[in-house]
Amino acid sequence: MTSSVRCALMIAIVLACAKPAVAREPAPVLVAAASIEVYFTPWDDAQGALVAAIEQAQQQVLVQAFLLTSRTIAASLIRAYRRGVDVRVLADQRQHTESTGSQLDRLAQAGIPVWLETRYRSAHNKIMLIDVQTLRSVVITGSYNYSRGAQSMNAENLLLIRGNAALANRFEANWMRHQSEATLMEIR
């Protein structure tokens, strides 16, 4: 047996016995006991449903956005903040700096803390979590960007999932993980 064959055999044995570099645990299965609303744009009023959910928030709204250019959604978040709701926003840094009409400066100037995500090529989440630690918890997710065009120019979907504490807690933990890695935006 030549030394190159022996070397190749040793490498094969080591690789066969090696553990994967990243061991991933399977995602937990969550029993779905909730009410679910689904909206499809441009036909359904997804933005109206989103704004209505924000307007009903009593304690907290956590936002995770790829893009936030909708003045209507920004105004609703500011109204919630002004009535004492804890509103916090995470957003993709590149979309904020490269997209015209980003509402993140407006939110920050109103006093809402905004963190920018830079770790990922795209922080592509589109999530709102409302009153997670209550029986009224709402998880909002889907392809729907919080943008001017999402309602009228795009084909999008939006899910509002109400009353599933386990799901809301899982989304909140993920939001917190992302927030811990993000940079607090400076007010301009």
pLDDT of residue 148: 81
41-98 pLDDT, tens digit per residue, is 999 999 999 999 999 999 999 999 878 889 999 999 999 999 999 999 998 867 656 6
Token couple for 116: 């920018």
100-134 pLDDT, tens digit per residue, is 788 889 999 999 999 988 776 665 688 999 999 99
In a domain, 122, yes or no: yes
Q: Total structural domains in the chain? A: 1
Higher pLDDT: 3 or 172? It is: 172
Q: How confident is the model at residue 15 (pLDDT cuts 50, 70, 90)?
A: very low
Domain encompassing residue 95: 34-184
In a domain, 114, yes or no: yes
Burial class (CB in 10 A: 0-12, 13-18, 19+), 13: exposed
Q: How confident is the model at residue 139 (pLDDT cuts 50, 70, 90)?
A: very high
In a domain, 26, yes or no: no
CATH number, domain of 176, equals 3.30.870.10
Q: What is the mean pLDDT of residues 135-141?
A: 94
Report pTM.
Answer: 0.81
Q: How far is CA 158 from CA 87, 100, 144, 179, in A?
A: 20, 23, 6, 23
In a domain, 14, yes or no: no
